[in-house]
Amino acid sequence: MAGIKSLAKDTAIYGMSSIIGKFLNWCLTPLYTYLLVPAEYGIVVYLYAWIGTMLVLLTYGLETGFFRYANDSSKGDPQTVYSTCMTSLGITTCLFLILVFSFLSPISGALQYEQHQDYIGMIAIIIALDVFSALPFAYLRYRLRPLRFAFLKLLNIALTIIFNLFFLVVCPVIYKNHPDLISWFYRPDYGAGYILVSNVIASFVLLLLLTPEIFRIRWHFDWRLLKEILHYSFPLLILGLAGIMNQNLDKILYPYLLSDPQVAADQLGIYGANVKIAVVMIMFTQAFRYAYEPFIFAKNKDDDNTKAYSEAMKYFIIFSLIIFLSLIHI
């Protein structure tokens, strides 16, 4: 029962950070729809669908693989598992950045953004920064440090909101009255691009704050261990891709379903804004998963792990149904 109480406490902390964070992020949607025309917001919806998909692909299940092997003492030191996974992610992410910037023009053309290659470059940087941050966050969860995890997550979202407000609300007012003050960095026609700029800055600051989790460990790379982790994580990658494509494939395909690109961008912007309504269930599921993964792998060592699994899933189903029925009623 003590394990269930610990799981409930961690779920509450992760849940509050996830719910508050997603709610604050969700609050940007009315701002975007008010300040941007539907076509500009359609750009944001489309590019962020690609960001979410590429994050799953480039982390390739290593977060869960890390938990599995870090809790298995027969596989070696947890720091060796962590540093091996970080090295793998670092290499693949650097290769991704090299490929994107080497073929920036054809990739931009394939995504129908020939005139905005800077957008494609920025989403590549955002993806890389977020991939580098993924495993340090998993390490915080492994070390059962939900408060630092929650603080950094909320800080990242707060910075994103602050920079969005600065570029989309404050800068236009300053430019209208005193253009000389900000004309050296601000372009009034850049619109949706400033949403990406804000994300780049926030993700970079977050990675800097995660440097203790990256560098204050013993670095040791074990190729044989990595092969075992990749073998374990590959099915999780397939499952993760299936899940994220279920969420994002509609937004990725939307621009190709209509012959007029302008109409497609307009409709995607309207569609994407409406989809934002259904994020509450995702918030709860994510919060539970953050606490459940380290809990469940730690319980692998106990004799009564079956009872712990069933208790955890029972409460998850109960609360999921309560939230689902509340949404239907509303």
pLDDT digits (tens, 9 = 90+) for 49-63: 999 999 999 999 898
Query: Residue 288's pLDDT band (boundaries 50, 70, 90)?
Result: confident
Instruction: List Cα–Cα distances, 16 to 28, 53, 110, 285, in angstroms.
Output: 18, 25, 39, 12
CB 213 within 8 A of CB 145: no
CB atoms within 10 A of CB 246: 9
CB neighbours of 179 closer than 8 A, spacing ≥ 6? none
Residues 54 and 152: their CA atoms lie apart, in Å, by 22
Residues 11 and 3: their CA atoms lie apart, in Å, by 12
CB 261 within 8 A of CB 8: no
Domain count, the chain: 1
Residues 251 and 257: their CA atoms lie apart, in Å, by 10
Could you tell me the two tokens for 34?
């008010």
Instruction: Give the pLDDT score at 314.
Output: 80
Residues 12 and 21: their CA atoms lie apart, in Å, by 13
- Which has the higher per-residue pLDDT, 133 or 324? 133
CB neighbours of 80 closer than 8 A, spacing ≥ 6? 218, 220, 222, 225
| Structural domain harbouring 308 | 2-329
Q: pLDDT per residue over 210-269, tens digit each? A: 998 888 778 888 899 999 999 999 999 999 999 899 888 989 998 888 878 788 888 888
Instruction: Give the pLDDT score at 12.
Output: 65
Residues 68 and 62: their CA atoms lie apart, in Å, by 10
Over 90: is that where the pLDDT of 203 sits? yes
Instruction: Give the pLDDT score at 201.
Output: 96
| Average pLDDT score over residue span 277-288 | 68
Instruction: List Cα–Cα distances, 13 to 24, 145, 147, 150, 293, in angstroms.
Output: 16, 10, 7, 7, 15
Residues 22 and 226: their CA atoms lie apart, in Å, by 33
Among 136, 121, 154, 148, residue whose Cα is nearest residue 47: 121
